[in-house]
Amino acid sequence: MSTTPVLHYIYDPLCGWCYGAKPLIEAARGILPVV
């Protein structure tokens, strides 16, 4: 089992909330390694 945190981001392109969360996702990408 991996101890590295994994962020799964699933979005709906027609959902306004998904686009509103973009700054938070980009901040998480800056902290977590991207694989």
**Total number of domains in the chain:** 1
User: Residue 21 and residue 26: Cα distance in Å, rounded?
Assistant: 9
3-state SS of the chain: helix, strand, coil percent to 5? 45, 0, 55
Mean pLDDT on 16-25: 82
Q: Is the pLDDT of residue 29 over 80?
A: yes
Residue 34 confidence (pLDDT): 67
Q: Is the pTM of this model over 0.75?
A: no
pLDDT band with cut points at 50, 70 and 90 for residue 35? low
Q: Other C-beta atoms within 10 Å of 28: how many?
A: 14
Which structural domain range is residue 3 located in? Answer: 1-35
